[in-house]
Amino acid sequence: MSEVTSRPITMAQVAQHAGVSQASVSRVLNGVATVDPAIVAKVNRAVAALNYSPSEAARSLVRGSSHTIALLVPDLENPMFQGVLKGLTVAAARDGYRVLVADSAEAVGVEADIASEARSKCDALVLVSPRMPDAELRDLIQRTTPVVVVNRRVDDTAAAQLSVDYATAVKELGMHLRGFGHRRIAYVAGPALSYANEQRALGLGELAREYPDLEFLTIPAGSSMEAGYDAADAVLETGATAAIAFNDLVALGLMSRLREVGVEVPEQLSIVGIDDIPQSRFAAPPLTTMSVPRIEIGRQAWNRMRQALDGESADHPLFYRPVLVARHSSGPASHASGWVGPARPVLRLGSTVVAQYEEGVNVDSVLSPRPYLDAVISRTGTPLTVTEPTDHPHHLGVSLAIADVNGTSYWGGRTYVRGEGSVMVPNHGRQRRDRLHIEGHALDERLSWVDEHGTTQLVEVRELRSAELANGWALRWRSRLKATLDAITFGSPATNGRDGAGYGGIFWRFAPEIARVFSPAGDTERDVHGAATPWLAFTFPERGTTVVLTQGDERLPWFVRFAEYLGAGPSVAWDEPRTIPEGGELSLELTAYVLDEELADAAAVEAALPALRAEAGL
């Protein structure tokens, strides 16, 4: 009859039931081959009758081994690390070992502590992609041996090492994209302290030196889908035609955001990753990536660990070279020009970004925040705008700015007050973006002009249209301003008593360069300033660049500065105020032809304009 008890059965009870000593029971349970078969049979019958289970903790103490190893990863959600875990677990189980998993959650500061604690409960430690500094890692290895290190090179240590050749992997991806015609490529980087990220950066640097026509732009991100999603807008702002993601998770997050904002992959932006995690094959479109043998790395990590547990020295480090898996997320570079990027659009002509369109939300309130064109260049790289220069911080690239709208300044800075001069007045308004839509060469925006009291004075519909030219590019800016609640009077310092200061309208602040200015009225500032000519030209002889500004149907006087700084724009209220009734509209238009050639004089501009207008189609 078996004994019934609510307490765990002990070895003493087994010995009593079998009629043998506890030492005999222990030898039988530990598989000692010299025990008399008759005693073995008695003990086994007693174990079965009492349903006895030996204490693993006690047996570990006796053996000096737990038959458990610890695995530490920086992010267990990453399928790359899950694959390593699978390979390690299956291989270790065949030798009677179990795996304890620890996740540092990218917390570099506590990574070593987590590793030490895990090792204290196990026989050995496997570190996958450790983020800690080299000196700290070497110290940890010395204290916790035996250790196997995966995806990290550690010099001056006896630890077994297995690594992936990520430098070669990114170089292959770069050559893959170059073969499609991509030259401006974003690298969406991984964790800053990651050895794998460092290796990728080294590989891209080597490739850039080998192929000077390649340009790599680094976007800080991380290693998760969320990191890729959050980096998408910054990638678009670079104007790159392709992006190499730190890993597949980052690539998938990036693609998710691109779908939301209507950017087609790979038609508008090619995306590639690294690791070939299972989800990559089923992405939309399927992701081009570098395949890493995750499960095999886990198996080999156990083989190296088994050697270390048996007292054998580690063989030479193992290096794995990923294999390119070309799918449908990469394709030919889009060399068509147009606007890209929903939050901070850029105008891209092939692989060259010629302008950025800023919302202006970070502009100081006293500068009258407003959207503006920034970082405008010619196709050959001549800088053509400056933003917030020290002489006039309220000058914002190319913007629509008016100094007096029923007393509110949408120009920024000081206000000219009759009898007092230019003084700082708390009358600064702002242009608030209500809607933005971009498609191809078209950027459409709806804005509210909000005064210093929070009242909307005007609603603006703004249209920017671009075109690629054989020797440059063109941009047309049209704005329709509608009075919402009352009649609106537009003024300027000139209408308030300051002679010659009739500025206000679409205003272009040029970068400080050696330039010439001319129009049909002449070729000096005195000639062109205040002249209502159909066009005005700036040439930059040392750069071989010309910018021709043309007006729409209504020819307004040009406000021009040349000696003090380079800037110009048609004036809404040159020397008389201009009023529109409630519900009335004011239409403004300016077209720029940015040419990679020097047009020497007015005759050359007049000769070129008909063909430029026809080619641009604006």
CB neighbours (10 Å) of residue 607? 10
**pLDDT tens per residue across span 559-598:** 999 989 999 999 999 999 999 999 999 999 999 999 999 9
**What DSSP state is assigned to residue 511?**
-
Task: Output the CATH code of domain 338-616.
Answer: 2.70.98
Banded model confidence at residue 361, pLDDT cuts 50, 70, 90 = very high
**pLDDT tens per residue across span 530-563:** 999 999 999 999 999 999 999 999 999 999 999 8
State the residue for tokens 């009739």. 502
Task: Output the CATH code of domain 68-164.
Answer: 3.40.50.2300
Q: Does residue 416 sit in helix, strand or coil?
A: strand
Give the right CATH number for 166-291 from 2.60.120.10, 3.30.70.20, 3.40.50.2300, 3.30.230.10.
3.40.50.2300
Residue 290 near residue 275, CB atoms below 8 Å: yes
Sign of CA dihedral 500, 502, 503, 505: negative
Tell me which amino acid residue 449 is: W
Rounded Cα distance, 344 and 236, in Å: 8
Same fold, 11-63 and 166-291: no
**Start-to-end Cα distance in the chain:** 101
Asked whether residue 12 carries a pLDDT value surpassing 60, the answer given is: yes
Rounded Cα distance, 527 and 537, in Å: 13
- Nearest Cα to 254, choosing from 187, 197, 203? 187
CB neighbours (10 Å) of residue 135? 8
Sorted by sequence, the CB contacts under 8 Å of residue 318 that are 6+ apart come out as 161, 162, 163, 300, 304
Banded model confidence at residue 60, pLDDT cuts 50, 70, 90 = very low
pTM reported for the whole predicted model: 0.63
**266 cis-preceded (ω within 30 degrees of 0):** yes
What mean pLDDT do residues 186-204 have? 94
Asked whether residue 342 carries a pLDDT value surpassing 70, the answer given is: no
Asked whether residue 171 carries a pLDDT value surpassing 80, the answer given is: yes
Residue 194 near residue 223, CB atoms below 8 Å: yes
Banded model confidence at residue 10, pLDDT cuts 50, 70, 90 = confident
Asked whether residue 523 carries a pLDDT value surpassing 50, the answer given is: yes
pLDDT of amino acid 481:
98
CA 402 remoteness from chain centre: 35
**pLDDT tens per residue across span 273-312:** 999 999 999 999 999 999 999 999 999 999 988 888 888 8
Q: Does residue 471 sit in helix, strand or coil?
A: coil
**Domain boundaries of the chain, sorted by first residue:** 11-63, 68-164, 166-291, 338-616
**What DSSP state is assigned to residue 221?**
-
CA 42 remoteness from chain centre: 70
CATH superfamily of 11-63: lambda repressor-like DNA-binding domains (1.10.260.40)
Percentage of the chain lying above the pLDDT 70 cut? 95
